[in-house]
Amino acid sequence: MPFACVLISDITGSTQLYENESNRSALEQISKVLARMRTIVETHGGQCVKSQGDDVLSFFDHAEPAFQAGLAMIREPWPAGLSIHVGTYYGEILNHENDIYGSAVNTAARLSSLAKPGEILVGDQSYDDLAPDTKSQLLMIGELQLRGKAAPTRVYSCSVAGLSEQTVIFSKGSGDRSGGMEFAEIGMGGRTWRIGEGETLTLGRSKDCDLVLNEAWVSRKHAALAVRRWQLEFTDHSSTGSTIRMANGRDVALHRRATLLNGSGDIFLGPATHLAESCRISFRIQELALLQTAK
């Protein structure tokens, strides 16, 4: 089978566009974006295979032009609030009946699905073939265990999303704490936040989050801490994962799933290769239990 660099580019925001505009108008705008993506691919020497829904499947002889095409896509000023996210991977492909198949296609698809709006995720096989100047634009976000692959894949990110300038915590109301509910204490950068039953703190790079972190490997909507049924729950939504360090020093990796937290410890947003102090969030449970109240 021949080798190629597969690139899958997908549109973000089309669902909202269909809700806000007529089907005809939304379809016309989406079609123009798909056509423009195909033009970008061909301009960079790639070959478009097909468009399916909101994405374009294409391939290149080498990783460098594939990356440059993806970079052009995420930098394009797309209309109507639309944006592009991209995944690319180099490997063997099979051409069959005007389509391509193989592990490189599957891995590129997985990376594209994990990428955030305005982001390219590049697998290790693609990264190793890039020019030194191009590599300097990417940040390794860790080794991800991608579905269908026996070994972890080194993944690199390039994003045009703006980074937060400073860490900010936005206050929420205390809400109803009926039933004698105690609280969880969350700390970061010298600040402390307490949340009780039914309250949630969102964590990530987006300015819309309650705790905003400005590291490039932190996803825009990375994770959430919530108290549900008197237990503290941490949920990772990110493409890079998170690490929970318990009080006994044991580290637990978490990626796109939830876990209950007990006692005290630290949360690091990002993979185990990036346990930066700037991304450390402490937690401490204050007897999260329903206390008996007088009747």
Report strand pairing: 139-144 vs 258-261: unpaired
Residue 173: how many CB atoms within 10 A of its CB? 6
DSSP code at position 169: B
pLDDT digits (tens, 9 = 90+) for 45-95: 999 999 988 999 999 999 999 999 999 999 999 988 899 999 999 999 998
Task: Calculate ∠ Cα 287-289-290, nearest 5°.
Answer: 140
Judge if pTM exceeds 0.75: no
DSSP code at position 74: H
Domains of the chain: 3-159 (3.30.70.1230), 183-286 (2.60.200.20)
The mean pLDDT value of the chain amounts to 84
Q: Which residue has the tokens 């039933």?
A: 179
Give per-10-residue mean pLDDT for the chain (295 aa).
92 88 90 96 97 93 97 93 94 89 92 88 93 89 71 84 30 39 81 86 92 90 87 88 86 84 89 84 71 36
pLDDT digits (tens, 9 = 90+) for 148-180: 677 788 888 888 754 222 222 223 344 444 433
Residue 177 pLDDT: 40
Residue 287 pLDDT: 60
Rounded Cα distance, 220 and 230, in Å: 27
Residue 179 pLDDT: 38
Torsion sign across C-alpha atoms 105, 111, 112, 114: positive
Residue 199 pLDDT: 86
Residue 161 pLDDT: 53
Q: Which residue has the tokens 């703190």?
A: 201
**184-193 burial, b if ≥16 CB within 10 A, otherwise e?**
bbbebeeeeb
